[in-house]
Chain A
Amino acid sequence: MQPESRINRIIHHLQREWQIYVMLLPTIIWFIVFLYKPMYGLQIAFKDYSIFRGVAKSPWIGLEHFEYLFSNDQFIRAVWNTIKISALNLLFGFPAPIILALMFNEVLHATYKKTAQTIVYLPHFISSVIIAGIVITAFSPSVGIVNTVLEWFGIDSIYFLTKPEWFRPIFVGTGIWQEAGFGSIVFLAAIAGVSPSLYESAVVDGANRWQMMWKITIPSILPTIIIMLIIRIGNIMEVSFELIILLYQPATYETADVVNTFVYRQGLQNGQYDFAAAAGLFNALVAFVLVMVANTLSRRYSRTSLW
């Protein structure tokens, strides 16, 4: 009796709400075609894959690729580089849009505020190729603005993009420049959702703007910050590799080569698809664990979570 009535309920529900599910359909199809169907190919991480035999007919070889992977110094280096770059990104890149949003919120002059916002949003809409071009030009040893300024102070010009120690600061800085403005929109929206009467009540209580920011605005947008942090942690292994590919060169592989660029070079440039698939799968597993952990911690300590 019980399960039947439940099925009936579901059928009833679908009959009543089918329009909503129809609207959901394109997203589901997108997920199936672009994310779930390719998962079938993941099995080559455990196979001696050859394009001539195809995915299904290639022989199983167990964890051989993984064993090779973890004995590969380049891969270990790429994992560490990924973690280091992501940690820097998290440390500097994550607070940047929040600070920016808080600053925009304090700007009272409407025209000035809009102009400033437009200017900081702009880099987001520029292709990474052009961004990389701008960065390369800016840091160029001969004509770059950075070296020109250094020369004013009598400092010898530095060929930044060939120096491994400069790669991470430049990469993280570029990321902030490109995305902080656009990222602040989410936090601005969260700030806009804070009831004005909270501020009015605080004004009557005698709070100044600084106190209002710390005691009202930040706690009020904390749930948004946490959600964004969870998503960010989940993406820790996904360093924006287009920009790395555009900015790095063999001279800076030491600090610049991340798992994704390693996968790209091994898989697409060297044709080792199975080996690259193993590296990619490892990356995805780590990311999955990270999201789970971050979400659980957040749910336990702040009552906010993605699911």
Chain B
Amino acid sequence: MSGVQLSQLVKRYGDIEVVKAIDLEVQPHEFVVLVGPSGCGKSTTLRMIAGLEEISAGSVTINDRVVNRVAPKDRDVAMVFQNYALYPHLNVADNIAFGLRIRKTPKDEVDRLVAEVADILGLTDYLKRRPADLSGGQRQRVAMGRAIVRHPMVFLFDEPLSNLDAKLRSQMRAEIKRLHKRLDVTSIYVTHDQVEAMTLADRIVVMNDGLIEQVGTPMDLFLNPANTFVAGFIGSPPMNQFDALVSGSPEAPIAEIGDQRMALPSLPELSERIGSKVTVGIRPEHAQVLTPSEHLVHVQLEIVETLGSEALLHTTLENNPFIIKTETEGYYSKLEEVSAFSVDPAQVKVFDIETGRVFGQSGA
């Protein structure tokens, strides 16, 4: 079936390697999101799959066929671009039909397919309009229509929603998800927005500096980040991280940060680190301010950001910024008085201070 495999894929511009020998296997029907900061190589990877960038080394396999030397049109992929790439001089119907006409599809077949796609995307009433007369969301739908109409084996999305405003973006996100459910086509989606990645993906690939940091399901990445980069990238707001000294015993290790003490999970690697420093990570959601506990960690509250049902408490923990996410219901008036939190040691992540790798996991 129509899976995609990348093996030891490299992209070089002169001496600069922007994609550094990455391996990835995308299963048939899977929705995989490549996410990472600007310049991490995610778009370049996608463009190599599409055939728009030459492959410097390694291989791309689509549907069990190595496509390194195959022209983009013969790879049976369709791509949705960030700026829609609609032809301004053609109306919606002609834009959708462009690829079919290039391939000399018979006219009634073109008409039938365009009508079908327009129906799926709710564009039937707009077929005669030019792109300039459409809203951003409608343009994005036309761009997707152009991809869908060819019934490709793989969809490639290059930041398709980044030109839309926040509200439209969440609408279109849901639409893409619904579309994928309906068409069940293997999809590779590039974004820098971790919320998009979390909501759309079957599996997320976190990239940084041309390398894959971690691959996993959204919840897997959220709960078990492989390193400090993933921990700092996934989640909104991201995981709090600070350096601390390990003390206590191998059975009950403790993190010391200034005058504060915090219980750490008892991990085999930690026993060797007693007396040295590590990076401690705590999700804003896991810091409890509402349940009384004996093991309180004291913080200085700076501002309370209320989001409705939730609030973000911006605090400092021994001069490190520390964000706490908490519910507001029934507690709103007390939030201004928060001065300490507690955390279940099982939810505390400990990372190697040098490599950033998490302790207690076999790794990504």
A119 to B219, CA, bound (A): 62
Q: Min CB distance, A304 to chain B, in Å? A: 11
A151 to B206, CA, bound (A): 74
Q: Which of chain A's residues have a CB closer than 8 A to the CB of B82?
A: 197
A207 to B83, CA, bound (A): 19
Q: Which of chain B's residues have a CB closer than 8 A to the CB of A197?
A: 81-83, 85
A52 to B72, CA, bound (A): 79
A197, A203, A205, A207: residue with the most chain B Cβ atoms closer than 10 Å: A205
> B73-132: which have CB < 8 Å to A?
73-74, 77-79, 81-83, 85, 87-90, 98-99, 102-103
Specify which of B51, B89, B90, B146 is in contact with A201 (CB 8 Å cutoff). Answer: B146
Chain A: CB-nearest residue to B95:
A201
Chain A: CB-nearest residue to B88:
A220
Q: Min CB distance, B31 to chain A, in Å? A: 19
Whether the pair B52, A211 counts as a contact (CB closer than 8 A) is no
Majority secondary structure, A binding face: helix
Q: Which of chain B's residues have a CB closer than 8 A to the CB of A202?
A: 98, 102
Tell me how many residue pairs across A and B have CB atoms closer than 8 Å: 58
Whether the pair B73, A204 counts as a contact (CB closer than 8 A) is yes
Q: Which of chain A's residues have a CB closer than 8 A to the CB of B102?
A: 202, 205-207, 211
Whether the pair B87, A219 counts as a contact (CB closer than 8 A) is yes
Whether the pair A200, B87 counts as a contact (CB closer than 8 A) is no
The 0/1 profile, CB within 8 Å of B marked 1, for residues 179-205 of chain A is: 000000000000000010110111111
A205 to B90, CA, bound (A): 16
Chain A: CB-nearest residue to B77:
A204
Whether the pair A200, B52 counts as a contact (CB closer than 8 A) is yes
Q: Which of chain A's residues have a CB closer than 8 A to the CB of B89?
A: 219-220, 222
Q: Which of chain B's residues have a CB closer than 8 A to the CB of A198?
A: 85, 87
Q: Min CB distance, A133 to chain B, in Å? A: 45
Chain A: CB-nearest residue to B158:
A197
Q: Which of chain A's residues have a CB closer than 8 A to the CB of B73?
A: 203-207
Q: Min CB distance, A214 to chain B, in Å? A: 11
A98 to B303, CA, bound (A): 62
Q: Min CB distance, A302 to chain B, in Å? A: 10
21 contacts between A and B (CB under 8 A): A195-B83, A195-B85, A197-B81, A198-B85, A200-B52, A200-B79, A201-B81, A201-B146, A202-B102, A203-B72, A204-B50, A204-B51, A205-B146, A206-B73, A206-B102, A206-B103, A207-B102, A215-B87, A219-B88, A219-B90, A220-B88
Contacts from B to A (Cβ < 8 Å): 50-52, 72-74, 77-79, 81-83, 85, 87-90, 98-99, 102-103, 146, 150
Contacts from A to B (Cβ < 8 Å): 195, 197-198, 200-207, 211, 215-216, 219-220, 222
